Amino acid sequence: MQNSAVTVDALSETEVRRIREDFPILSTQVNGHPLTYLDSGATSQRPLAVLDAERDYLTTLNAAVHRGAHTLAAEATEAFEDARSALARFVGADDDEIVWTSNATEAVNLVAYALSNASVGRGGAAAESLRLREGDEIVTTEMEHHANLIPWQEVAARTGATLRVIPLDDDGALRMDEAARLIGPRTRLVAVTHVSNVLGVINPVEDIIAAARAVGALVLLDACQSAPHLPLDVRALDVDFAVLSGHKMLGPTGIGALYGRRELLEIMPPFLTGGSMITTVTTTEAQYLPPPQRFEAGTQRVSQAVALAAAVRYLEGIGMPRIAAHEHELGTRLVEGLSAIDGVRVLGAGIDRPRVGLASFDVAGIHAHDIGQILDDSGIAVRVGHHCAQPLHRRLGITASTRASTYVYTTRDEVDAVIAGVARAIDFFRRA
């Protein structure tokens, strides 16, 4: 399942409350109230299994990986590569198709660098075939996170390629008629988000990928908001690249990943150069390791990778289809409850559209920051601002919104608390 309605049973409230026991931070108090954490779209919380995995690595295995012949270094390397295998399995890739990065932003920039700097001198004629040139076109969308927009703006400026943008309709849905028109013979790359970090909608990426394949274009999928919440199989989707971020899927900050098809990674030039990504070095030239190590220069994020693997195993233990069902239920509850409040406009509100447990909204006459502050006074954590998606907000006629985002540990009562809190905030400001 990628973007269709979920048919498995959602998590029961009993199951969710048991899951919550694995997250120490959820038992804390904020401003004298129990924490109601509805900002998982920005950063998720971490279960004990993840916290323990990183601590156990640091207290028993910590050493430089892929270096040294001593036992500790060998065991650290094994743990590091086991983590790569766990993530590869999670997204349906092979081990050597997963490149560790600091975050998803770095992963997008890695691909952007390769497509604007590939040359005969760095990868041969095959690499030259990747390089974007004047007259080529890059297609993205009006709803992208800045991390999947600005790098392509820069590539277009460096190479002379043209950046095309699939627009949205008034409800925040992608204009698929325009997508069919914009993806054409000159298109070399389509970069699209799987799930909007503002609207919570699951985009019809299969149709976009099919259009790209029809003209021979590459596809990069931003999976930051889908990998934590939906079953994801990059090979079944037939994408060339996918990026994700650990801190949005129960893992630590400072770790992300790029999936790349093996045959593409093999001809791409490295983004960062230095130690650990070479075979032979002279004073005038260097020979690079095969991927993924070619793209992992310097000291790696070893404990973070180990912790992310623990997060993956935790999610798999619950089951991604059931997590998706839980998210869909909470997202629908959010949209229905918020839409029923006078003066609230939920962005991309159509509840008949596939979605995750995320909803952003605008309140007529009240700034998003004021809504967020009132909610915070009651211990409710939400996100306010443009959520690194200014073009989307501009298209919908606003500068900022309030976003409530759920996860596997979110209860129905917490969703109801957000809805009630928004109603109280509106009443407060209207009376004031």
What residue has token string 């709803």? Answer: 143
Determine the topology of domain 13-46+319-431 in CATH: Aspartate Aminotransferase, domain 1 (3.90.1150)
pLDDT digits (tens, 9 = 90+) for 156-189: 999 999 999 999 999 899 999 999 999 999 999 9
Residue 1: pLDDT band (50, 70, 90) is very low
Average of per-residue pLDDT across 218-235: 98
If one compares 1 and 114, the residue with the highest pLDDT of the two is: 114
pLDDT digits (tens, 9 = 90+) for 256-295: 999 999 999 999 989 899 999 999 999 999 999 999 999 9
pLDDT given for residue 108 in this prediction: 98
- Among 113-122, 330-339, 342-351, the least confident range: 113-122
pLDDT given for residue 129 in this prediction: 82
* Residues whose CB is less than 8 angstroms from the CB of residue 256 and which lie 6 or more positions away in sequence, other chains included: 100, 101, 102, 103, 104, 105, 106, 107, 243, 244, 245, 246
pLDDT given for residue 128 in this prediction: 79
Compute the CA torsion angle 179, 174, 143, 204 (nearest 10 deg). Answer: -90
pLDDT given for residue 2 in this prediction: 43
224 catalytic? Reply is: no
pLDDT digits (tens, 9 = 90+) for 43-71: 999 999 999 999 999 999 999 999 888 99
- CATH of 52-316, picked from 3.40.640.10, 3.40.50.980, 3.40.50.150, 1.10.357.10, is 3.40.640.10
pLDDT given for residue 67 in this prediction: 86
The one catalytic residue among 165, 388, 398, 423: 388
Domain map (residue ranges) of the chain: 13-46+319-431, 52-316
HSE-CB for 404 with a 13 A CA cutoff:
32
Peptide bond into 151 cis (omega under 30): no
Please provide the distance, in angstroms rounded to a whole number, between the alpha carbons at the two ends of the chain: 48
